[in-house]
Amino acid sequence: MTSRGFLHRTLYALAGLVAIGICAAAVALLWIDRRLTWESAYTAGHNLTGVLAADISRTLHLYGLSLQGVVERLREPGIELVKGEALRRFLFDRSSSAEYLGAIGVLDENGNLRYASMDIGPSDRNFSGWDYFQVHRDADDVGLYVSRPYRSPLRGGDESIAISRRLSHPDGSFAGVVVGSLRLAYFRDRFATLSIGERDAITVFRNDGVVLVRNPYSLSDMGREFEFPQDFQQFLVGRESAFVGSLSPDGVKRLHTFVRIDDTPLVINVALAVDDILEPWVRRAALVVPVTLALFLSVMAQIVLFRREMRLRRAFEAQLEMQAKTDGLTAIPNRRTFDETLAREWQSARRDGYPLSLLFLDADQFKRYNDRYGHQEGDELLKAMAATFKKNARRPRDLAARYGGEEFVVLLPNTSRQRAIGIAETIRRAILELGFPHQDNDGGVVTVSIGVATAVPKAGEEPSALVEAADAAVYQAKKSGRNRVVAL
């Protein structure tokens, strides 16, 4: 029974581990899948920003070279002697032939237009109020400067940015600015060739947070300034980075990947909507979670059903065992239980050296009782006698059992001969006081004869000797007139 219980507990533990393992494996797989999904999105965003940054950097580099070429030609000796169209061709060559590049102009230290790559109107125009002029005037180390976006008055309000470089006198003092305009259509057309989600966004902005252009396009985004979170401020210290958050007015949470465009004050941001990134993973999780839960519940249900089945089986086996040890009529232990208990108590008494007493009880004239009153009444009498015997076997190790027919035994461990005789007399009187009528018995009522035997078991002696002695004693009681106790 102990080994079976251990086996059952082991099976329960294994089944529980299987159920937990199923859930742990599902959680681990979902976590790995989510991480891979996230890493894939980060890689895609990083690659896209890298490609765009390289393309924009190359374009701005070419435009910057065009401006640098103008700066260098202005330093040529005798440049002041060249006039008119020849001067324009010499200074600007084919610098303004690029698709998205507008006019290139040269401003003096006061912001007045000195030269232009094309006719841009009155020559007395002054640009000293523009940000690119003021930046170069106030600092000599700006390099290539990209202005805030503006609507070009020369191209019907076309959205543009100015790209400019500083001009300096031989002594390093401010001599003016070379400036060219770049249409923002360049960025929008470049972004239009990319395949991104509806809620994804691409933004080009200056490192001070001024937005140049954003896809999807919105007029309100032009010139807007970002409020940088701490993660992005850390990015400005490095070269590239990413963080999850919201930088746009729509409040959509996105994975933002940033790359600084080489040799420019520009930053490009590819922002992928977090919900869109995780949507495929959510769909997979929506399939995995119910299946895993179903498997878990299935295993747990099997454990519960198995345990219930084992409880019912143990209860049934216990019932069978009880029935095997109990007399079906009187509901007290039967002959088999008595034999097992006697053998056990005999060994204990021999080991510890205490007396073991046995009462052998026999209902007087029971056959005649059955013949006169019927077997049903005889059965009721046996039940009442058994209850009386059990009532007087009071100690936990005392045993009252049916030996067979109308014969009963009461086993009394660690009980002396005199104590056993006293218990036997108590039982005899109790049966007499039941007052069951028995016209064929002396006194007209049911009585019982009891034989008492006591022994202190010794090595080599068998417990059957105690039974034989008690049986002989009850035989002597019946021979002496019945309704009495005889001890041998």
State the pLDDT at residue 97.
54
Here the CATH number for the domain that contains residue 267 is: 3.30.450.20
How far apart, in whole angstroms, are the C-alpha atoms of residue 95 and residue 63? 8
Q: Quick one: average pLDDT of 143-167?
A: 82
- Highest mean predicted confidence (pLDDT) among 105-119, 178-192, 217-231, 332-346: 332-346
Q: Can you list the alpha helix ranges (DSSP code H) found in 75-161?
A: 84-92, 131-138
399 has pLDDT over 70: yes
Q: Is the omega angle on the peptide bond into residue 355 within 30 degrees of 0, that is, cis?
A: no
176 and 70 in a common domain: yes
State the pLDDT at residue 240.
54
Domain boundary among 297, 323, 349: 323
Is 253 within 8 Å of 244 (Cβ atoms)? yes
State the pLDDT at residue 206.
83
**Which residue has 């190359």 as its token pair?**
58
Q: Order across the sheet with 356-363: list the strands.
A: 399-404, 407-413, 356-363, 448-455, 485-487
Neighbouring CB atoms inside 10 A of 430's CB total 16
What 8-state DSSP symbol labels residue 262?
A: T
Torsional sign, CA 341, 342, 346, 349: positive
215 and 77 in a common domain: yes
The identity of residue 368, as a single letter, is: R
- Highest mean predicted confidence (pLDDT) among 90-104, 254-268, 385-399: 385-399
State the pLDDT at residue 232.
54
| Structural domain range at position 353 | 335-487
State the pLDDT at residue 63.
84
Domain boundary among 323, 348, 364: 323
Q: Order across the sheet with 240-245: list the strands.
A: 211-215, 201-206, 266-273, 254-260, 240-245
State the pLDDT at residue 110.
92
345 and 318 in a common domain: no
Q: Quick one: average pLDDT of 459-484?
A: 92
In a domain, 465, yes or no: yes
Domain boundary among 258, 293, 323: 323
In a domain, 112, yes or no: yes
Residue 390 exposure: Cα atoms within 13 Å on the Cβ side: 15
State the pLDDT at residue 118.
72
Total count of domains within the chain: 2
Q: What is the pLDDT of residues 345-387, one digit of tens each?
A: 999 999 999 999 999 999 999 999 999 999 999 999 999 999 9
Here the CATH number for the domain that contains residue 452 is: 3.30.70.270
In a domain, 278, yes or no: yes
315 and 352 in a common domain: no
Q: For 350-372, b where at least 16 C-beta lie within 10 A, e where not — what string?
A: beeeebbbbbbbbbbbbeebbee
In a domain, 328, yes or no: no
State the pLDDT at residue 120.
58
Lowest average pLDDT, out of 44-53, 64-73, 280-289, goes to: 64-73
Whole-number Cα distances in Å, 455 to 105, 141, 356, 411: 133, 121, 5, 12
389 and 429 in a common domain: yes
329 has pLDDT over 80: yes
Torsional sign, CA 453, 457, 458, 460: positive
Beta bridge mates, 321: none
State the pLDDT at residue 230.
52
248 and 100 in a common domain: yes
Q: What is the DSSP string of 342-400?
A: HHHHHHHHHHHT--EEEEEEEETTHHHHHHHH-HHHHHHHHHHHHHHHHHH--STT-EE
In a domain, 329, yes or no: no
271 and 188 in a common domain: yes
Lowest average pLDDT, out of 178-192, 210-224, 453-467, goes to: 210-224
Pull the structure tokens for residue 401.
């059992």
**For residue 277, what are the contacts with CB-CB under 8 A and spacing of at least 6?**
37, 38, 41, 255
In a domain, 194, yes or no: yes
Band (pLDDT 50/70/90 cuts) for residue 202 is confident
- Highest mean predicted confidence (pLDDT) among 2-6, 52-56, 83-87, 352-356: 352-356
Q: What is the pLDDT of residues 246-301, one digit of tens each?
A: 766 677 888 888 888 887 888 888 888 888 888 888 888 888 888 888 888 888 88
Lowest average pLDDT, out of 32-41, 204-213, 245-254, goes to: 245-254
- SS3 assignment, position 98: coil
In a domain, 330, yes or no: no
| Opening angle at CA 381, ends 377 and 386, nearest 5 | 150
Band (pLDDT 50/70/90 cuts) for residue 2 is low
76 and 8 in a common domain: yes
308 and 200 in a common domain: yes
Kindly give the pairing relationship between strand 485-487 and strand 448-455. Answer: parallel
Q: Quick one: average pLDDT of 465-483?
A: 93
Q: Which of 225, 235, 113, 95 is nearest to 177 (CA)?
A: 113
Pull the structure tokens for residue 385.
């006698």
318 and 344 in a common domain: no
Band (pLDDT 50/70/90 cuts) for residue 215 is confident
State the pLDDT at residue 360.
95
417 and 311 in a common domain: no
Q: Quick one: average pLDDT of 56-77?
A: 82
317 and 440 in a common domain: no
Q: Which of 5, 35, 93, 20 is nearest to 278 (CA)?
A: 35
